[in-house]
Amino acid sequence: MSTHALGRQTVARQILAEISGRAADTIITSTRLSDLGLDSLGRLTLAVLLEERTGRPLPDDELISVRTLDDLERLLRPTERSA
What is the pLDDT tens value at each position of the chain, 83 positions in all?
344 445 555 899 999 999 999 999 999 999 999 999 999 899 999 999 999 998 988 888 888 999 999 999 998 887 654 44
Neighbours of 3 (CB within 10 A): 7
Closest of 33, 71, 77 to residue 54, by C-alpha = 77
Residue 79 and residue 26: Cα distance in Å, rounded?
28
Q: So what's the pLDDT on residue 79?
A: 67
Q: So what's the pLDDT on residue 48?
A: 94
Q: So what's the pLDDT on residue 1?
A: 37
Which residues make Cβ contacts (< 8 Å) with residue 29, sequence separation at least 6? Answer: 68, 69, 70, 73
Describe the crossing of helices 69-76 and 2-20 by its angle, rounded to 10 degrees: 140
pTM across the whole model = 0.81
